[in-house]
């Protein structure tokens, strides 16, 4: 029952300010100085809101650049140990066996692939797959016995995905019937 009394009182309370605003508007229409003051207040409000929005836009852009820069520096920091390993491999004495050198390079390659996988970058498995122009870039089409039409028969350059986004298509040779 109290809720009904409150809701009945609200329209009367809301009506009073509305009536006051109507009276003020009628009085302002008659007074040019009041109209100028109101105009100046609205103009000032518009300028303030425009400046606030401009500052907000600049702040958001600055924060976006900082986030991108931070993310990039994190990636670069992760690549530095791999670069260190390459430099150690290049400083290795020339008398060492070729096989030991190859094993070292393979370890560095594995380290780099692990780093990429950690950041959700994965190679596109192209060899033997059906040609897909969304993920493959065909360099040549060749007749190849024993291969089906449109099958990737050679991967010239590996392609990579970052999550669901294509970083680089695989450059491939494709069989034709």
Q: What is the mean pLDDT of residues 72-85?
A: 86
| pLDDT surpassing 80 at residue 27 | no
Domain boundaries, the chain: 123-177
Q: Which of 123, 116, 131, 126 is nearest to 160 (CA)?
A: 123
| pLDDT surpassing 80 at residue 122 | yes
Q: What is the pLDDT of residue 72?
A: 83
CATH architecture observed for domain 123-177: Roll (2.30)
> ∠ CA(161), CA(162), CA(163), 5° rounding?
105
The DSSP annotation for 28-94 comes to HHH-HHHHHHHHHHHHHHHHHHHHHHHHHHHHHHHHHHHHHHHHHHHHHHHHHHHHHHHHHHHHS-T
CA distance 112 to 158: 14
Please, which residues bridge with residue 174 across strands? Answer: 141, 152
CA distance 24 to 143: 88
pTM (global) more than 0.75: no
**Phi, psi of 96, deg, nearest 5:** -65, 155
Q: What is the pLDDT of residue 135?
A: 96
């Amino acid at each position: 029952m109290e809720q009904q009394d409150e809701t009945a009182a609200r329209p009367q309370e809301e009506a009073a300010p509305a009536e006051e605003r109507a009276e003020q508007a009628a009085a302002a229409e008659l007074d040019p100085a009041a109209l100028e003051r109101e105009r100046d207040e609205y103009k000032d409000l518009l300028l303030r809101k425009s400046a606030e929005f401009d500052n907000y836009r600049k702040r958001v852009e600055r924060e976006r650049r900082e986030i991108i820069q931070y993310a990039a520096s994190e990636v670069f920091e992760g690549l530095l140990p791999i670069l260190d390993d390459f430099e150690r491999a290049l400083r290795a004495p020339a008398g060492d066996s070729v096989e030991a050198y190859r094993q070292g390079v393979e370890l560095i390659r594995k380290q780099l692939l692990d780093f990429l996988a950690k950041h959700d970058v994965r190679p596109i498995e192209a060899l033997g797959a059906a040609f897909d122009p969304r993920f493959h870039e065909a360099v040549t089409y060749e007749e190849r016995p024993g291969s089906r039409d449109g099958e990737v028969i050679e991967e010239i350059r590996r392609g990579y995905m970052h999550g669901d986004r294509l970083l680089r298509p695989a450059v491939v040779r494709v069989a034709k019937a």
